[in-house]
Amino acid sequence: MDGAGVGGGGEAAWRKLSAEELENQYAPSRWVIRMGAEEALRTYKQIGIEATRKARDTCRSQLHVPYGDGDGEKMDIYFPDQASEGEPGGLAVLSRQRCLALPCTLFCVTALPFFMFFHGGYWQSGSKDESAFMVNPLTAQGVAVVIVAYDIAPKGTLDQMVDQVARSVAFVEKRYPSNKGIYLCGHSAGAHLAAMVLLTNWTKHGVTPNLRGFFLVSGVYDLQPLVFTSQNAPLLMTLEDAQRNSPQRHLEVARTQPVDPACPVLVAVGQHDSPEFHRQSREFQQALCRGGWRASFEELRDVDHFEIIENLTQKDDALTQIILKTILQEF
């Protein structure tokens, strides 16, 4: 499984797999060892629902904020309980009840770091309404958290999703121009979408976001293997679609250069992710480094494709701590 995925010499590693092996490699739930595949999917969904319910009950927030005209173009924004009186606009400590009664424009002048999360689900499942895993641990440390929705398949195409995610980032920058940095995190399919933001030409968006860090978790960065799996049924990707939307290919063929070479990019994968997920993560991190990005690779021990995000509900989780250290060391 160590062969080149895209752009390397010889045949791509995934092309050497049988159809059955390829299907297995790109079915993350089959690699869970702590419980059965179906139970792992149910558990992940339930933890996400409970974390989102808790976040909405305990954090001051603005829910279903439109970042575009489409029905699916919404985001939930969660704020820390405290903000310094010295911040622009003089926003001091506010109760959740009082905060929710205030006009949204008040928060536009609040200088905070913003953490944006793009959920997974192979671009065909998942929702912002069950993805607020990390809200409580991060807001407790003064970080605003944005959970982004996008139009999943079959309603949305990959091209549309990539565009929506880029527009959501531009929206946050325009809405909160005094932010102390925007940090992007995506899981699985969401990691792919976050990676595509690295390649965005911001000219058409009329703003260059203050991007200060990326956390790409258990992602897929070369989409070509998925064309030949059952995951493609709702997506209807052609090879051309997959190539156009593969950040790995953009790095190795188009030689896309970083807007800010100092912006850190963490490419993380769970110990119990499949070998293909490991290969994709390692090769993408290596391609980023060759392209001039400040990229690092992390294999998180004792977690699978789902635990790696489920555990973000815990303040002492390894990935939670990496995220907080990256954000808070800037201040």
Question: The CATH number of the domain where 276 resides is what?
Answer: 3.40.50.1820
Three-state SS for 161-202 is: HHHHHHHHHHHHHHHCCCCCCEEEEEECHHHHHHHHHCCCCH
Q: Indicate the number of domains in the chain.
A: 1
- Please give the angle made by the CA atoms of 45, 50 and 51, to the nearest 5 degrees: 95
* 11: in domain: no
| 273 included as an active-site residue | yes
When mean pLDDT is compared across 16-20, 140-144, 252-256, 261-265, the lowest value belongs to: 252-256
Catalytic residue among 119, 187, 272, 305: 305
pLDDT exceeds 60 at position 103? no
From the list 173, 161, 58, 77, the residue with the least C-alpha distance to 117 is 77
Contact call for residues 74 and 65 (beta carbons, < 8 A): yes
User: Per-residue pLDDT tens for 47-102?
Assistant: 999 999 999 999 999 999 999 999 999 999 999 986 533 333 333 334 344 344 44
At 297 the three-state DSSP class reads: strand
* 92: in domain: no
Angle between helices 189-197 and 158-175 (to 10 degrees): 60
How far is residue 177's CA from residue 88's CA, in Å, rounded to a whole number? 11
Catalytic residue among 131, 168, 188, 274: 188
Catalytic residue among 222, 273, 304, 317: 273
* 36: in domain: no
Domain interval for residue 227: 42-81+106-327
β-pairing, 74-79 vs 60-66, is antiparallel
| 188 included as an active-site residue | yes
Contact call for residues 320 and 134 (beta carbons, < 8 A): yes
* 114: in domain: yes
* 22: in domain: no
**Mean pLDDT for the chain overall:** 89
* 12: in domain: no
DSSP state string for 17-77: S-HHHHHHHT-GGGG--SS-HHHHHHHHHHHHHHHHHHHHHHSEEEEEEESSSSTT-EEEE
Contact call for residues 89 and 77 (beta carbons, < 8 A): no
* 269: in domain: yes
* 96: in domain: no
pLDDT exceeds 60 at position 309? yes
| 305 included as an active-site residue | yes
User: Per-residue pLDDT tens for 243-261?
Assistant: 999 999 988 886 777 778 8
What the block records as the tokens of 279 is: 């290969």
For the entire predicted model, the pTM comes to 0.90
Q: 154: cis peptide before it, omega within 30°?
A: yes
User: Per-residue pLDDT tens for 176-215?
Assistant: 999 999 999 999 999 999 999 999 999 999 999 999 999 9
